[in-house]
Amino acid sequence: SRAQPPFPPSQVERLLAGCNSWQFDTWGLHEASGGHALSALGFFLVQREGLVERLRMEPLTLARLLRTLESGYRVNNPYHNSAHAADVLHTLHVLLHGARLTEHYLDSLGLMAAYFAAIIHDYGHPGLTNDFLVASSHPLALRYNDRSPLESHHAAAAFSLLAERPDLDITSGLSRSERAAFRKQVIELVLATDMKQHFAILNHFNTVHHLSANTANNNNSGGSEISPQPSAAANSTGRQQPPTAPQSSQPPPRAQQRHQQHGGTSAQPAR
């Protein structure tokens, strides 16, 4: 039978309606949807943001792909499972919209790349660390030359799925250049989830931030009354920078309790 777009019952719809809040209950959605939090949230966000229409996707293809990716997360993996991927997808969504990056920085293709990267970022995770894979000469470590073997595997396996299954290829409506840009952005985002890259990425961010702030300050101090200069929130090109994202509040007791009941802790990193 043909796969149908996930059309959630009222309880799931009520939970999805709160996806813009930090208090969103991922575990509640996981339970209410019968273990399909990732596909339900993924379809809801992509559809609501207008990406299906703007990126010329077939809704049924998207639904099939999300369910297939969801099934690729191991149920017996206590942390890197599909519920974790749904949690990361929600966190990314709130950060992007809270910082207004969708208004100032991301276009439709970039937003879809970000969502897709969150959805696949632990796809097929074996429940082992990169260090263990390298130390044990695991086939994944050998295949990817000990460099981010898990993250490389997640991205490669997901894109292999699109290549091998035309009925799952949500990029078929894109131009060649759009497909290449989408693939490049997704791969970079997934590889960046390797925590060994954390400090390099953070240092790069801080460097760019300081350079932009210094340039803006210099422009402000050397400006004239006739020709207004960019504000301190603008970069060297004059493009307005998005405001700082709101700080996260603690998860609600109910969601925290559910997370602990499922074998997690109250402060798991969103990776």
User: Looking at the annotation, which residues are catalytic?
Assistant: 80
SS3 labels along 72-137: CCCCCCCCCCHHHHHHHHHHHHHHHHHCCHHHHCCCHHHHHHHHHHHHHCCCCCCCCCHHHHHHCC
Phi, psi of 23 (to 5 degrees): -85, 10
Nearest-CA neighbor of 72 among 2, 140, 159? Answer: 159
* Cα separation, 34 vs 75, whole angstroms: 13
Residue 84 marked as a ligand binder: yes
* Cα separation, 159 vs 162, whole angstroms: 5
Task: Look up residue 104 and give its two tokens.
Answer: 């100032």
Phi, psi of 13 (to 5 degrees): -60, -40
Angle at 249 between CA 247 and CA 257, to 5 degrees: 150
Residue 210 marked as a ligand binder: no
Residue 121 marked as a ligand binder: yes
Written as one letter, the residue type at 170 is I
Asked if residue 151 lies in contact with residue 193, where contact means CB atoms within 8 angstroms, the answer is yes
Helix, strand, coil tally for the chain in percent (to 5): 60, 0, 40
- Output the known binding site: 84, 121-122
- Output the known binding site for Zn(2+): 84, 121-122
